[in-house]
Amino acid sequence: MEAAESRTQSVSSDTVTGILKRIIAENGRDHLWGYVFAIACLIVVALSTAFTAWIMRAIIDEAFANRRADVVWIICLSIFIAFVLRGFASYGQAVALSKVGNDIVARYQRRLYSHLMTLSVGFFSEARSAHIAAQVSQNVSGIRDVLNLTITSTVRDLLTFVSLLAVMILQDPLLSLAVFIMAPPLLYALRYVSKRLRSATREAVHLNSHVLGAMQETIQGIAIVKAFTMEDELERKVTKLIKGAENRANRIARLSERTSPLTESFAGFAVASVLAYAAYRSIYYNVPPGAFFSFVTALLLAYDPARRLARLQVQMERAVVNARMIYELLDMEPRQRDLPDAQPLTVTQARIEFRNVSFGYGSESVLSGVSFIAEGGATTALVGPSGAGKSTVINLIPRFYDPREGEILIDGQDIAHITKKSLRHQLAYVSQQPYLFEGTIRDNIRYGRPEASDADVEEAARLAYAHDFISAQPQGYDTPVGENGVTLSGGQRQRLSIARALVRNAPILLLDEATSALDTESEAAVQKALDEAMTGRTVVVIAHRLSTVVRADKIVVMQQGRVVEEGNHETLAKVSDGLYARLNNLQRPSASDSN
């Protein structure tokens, strides 16, 4: 597709290490002190845990072998202090990492939203909104999880494990060696599980996005669903999607939890072997029990960090898959970038000219050699049968898409060499299906010009013949509109859309069949609003209604992506074998009926 975004995925980002380096490079500096504090707390947790195991030899030997009460009190106090320190350190690291993690999630959400706004209309035409929403909501936490897993595993779990291993080696080197010999098979099995989990996680995200998409479509089209009794068919479709997502989630659970029997079996065998060996030495060789208890304590305490470290690769794979999918979005480069020589648009007469413009979606050709002029301050109507390319012409003016060939000029300036922001600031747009955003009526009108005063907003509403029905609302201009204006009629939503265009006060107005979906009464009200909106502006309007066409200064007749006729209503209607004359004759009865 012409406007499709290109993906740029660096080689370094294909691996866990590459993703980790990128995340640290983007976030490490800003959260350095938060991570330093968390690391310090985690070091306290690790050392206090190792101290607990190490001190066991002294308390067993002094209390049960030597019976020294004075030393036991000091040992017990030190254990109490170690547990208190570990408790406060655990609290501190948890709060610090949560605060940093929440800030990272919020930062990437803002960054994703900002980046999505730079992508072209073509990208959103191809991508399903539910898939994008699922990709953002489900995966953005992957960035945070990669960092938190790295910090907690490297500092707390690894340092705790190493410290406890040191205690074990100090207390009994031979038993420690036996534990080490049994570890490699476990590590190999965990590596195999993590590889299989990687693909399953990515598939789960896609399946969940399809489930969300199906539900979203059903909710948005609930009137059609009920009118055509589609409930059973859609329920079967959604049930099938949900079953697929459930099966994938179950597979992920089976893969993730396979580490439990592996680690538990290993731990059970290790502890049983150690106990058997220690009991043998104590029974037959009268070895003091202090070193044995210290070793067993260290071994048991080492189990939790060892289990977390064993699961680390599995958890990291899931987090990295999520993070990688976020970077796939962030790494999309907009095809429609401003050219290096792009200048701000300067509007004098607002004269629009198409010069031999050709365009197509993918391999499909929609426009071929389109040329016409929309004079400044005048109304130019585009008419023709469905599929003639009228909406495409409207979409090319604000550069929603760029033409394959030809030029589009405003006051002699090629818009390909104009910054998109300055171009769109000079345009106001009213679509066939007006879209209202969450918020109040006043908010929705003010989106046309955020700096507009309340008086400007109300004046635009008056010109759009919307003030009366707005004033009749429970809270007037501060009435919430509901999801996409669900509390308002089609004509009311369209008049708010026109008010939004009027408050923008732009010299160029684009109207895409703004009245075609309305009933006769609503159309009459909206047409009055359009007459006000069109006064003194350059207007390009797609018109199916005869009333709009009759008053246009110029009519451009299109068929199969080409301009076949130009003129005003009087001249074109007299061309007996012309396309416009045929369209005019077809609409004439409906026009007389409306009178």
- Residue 197's nearest CA partner among 98, 38, 313 is 313
Query: What local confidence, expressed as pLDDT, does residue 376 receive?
Result: 92
The conformational region for residue 316 under phi > 0 = left, psi -120 to 50 = alpha, else beta, is alpha
**How far from chain centre, in Å, is Cα 524?**
40
Reported as a pLDDT band with limits 50, 70 and 90, residue 306 is confident
User: Is 11's pLDDT higher than 60?
Assistant: no
Domains by residue range for the chain, with CATH: 10-333 (1.20.1560.10), 352-426+538-595 (3.40.50.300), 428-505 (3.40.50.300)
User: Is 77's pLDDT higher than 80?
Assistant: yes
User: Is 292's pLDDT higher than 90?
Assistant: no
Interatomic CA distance for residues 323 and 345, integer angstroms: 39
Interatomic CA distance for residues 419 and 398, integer angstroms: 11
- Do residues 170 and 351 make contact, with C-beta atoms less than 8 angstroms apart? no
Instruction: Give SS3 for 29.
Output: coil
Average pLDDT of every residue of the chain: 80
Helices in 353-466 by DSSP H: which ranges? 390-396, 420-425, 441-446, 454-463
Instruction: Give SS3 for 410.
Output: strand
Task: Pick 133 or 454 by higher pLDDT.
Answer: 454
Interatomic CA distance for residues 218 and 238, integer angstroms: 10
DSSP 418: B
User: Is 5's pLDDT higher than 70?
Assistant: no
Interatomic CA distance for residues 290 and 298, integer angstroms: 12
- Do residues 144 and 105 make contact, with C-beta atoms less than 8 angstroms apart? yes
pLDDT in tens, 452-510: 999 999 998 988 888 988 999 889 999 988 776 777 888 888 889 888 988 988 999 99
Helices in 403-477 by DSSP H: which ranges? 420-425, 441-446, 454-463, 467-471
- Phi first, then psi: give them for residue 450, nearest 5 degrees: -55, -30
pLDDT in tens, 328-347: 888 887 777 788 888 999 99
Lowest mean pLDDT among 55-59, 78-82, 262-266: 262-266
Per-residue tokens: 379: 């109304």
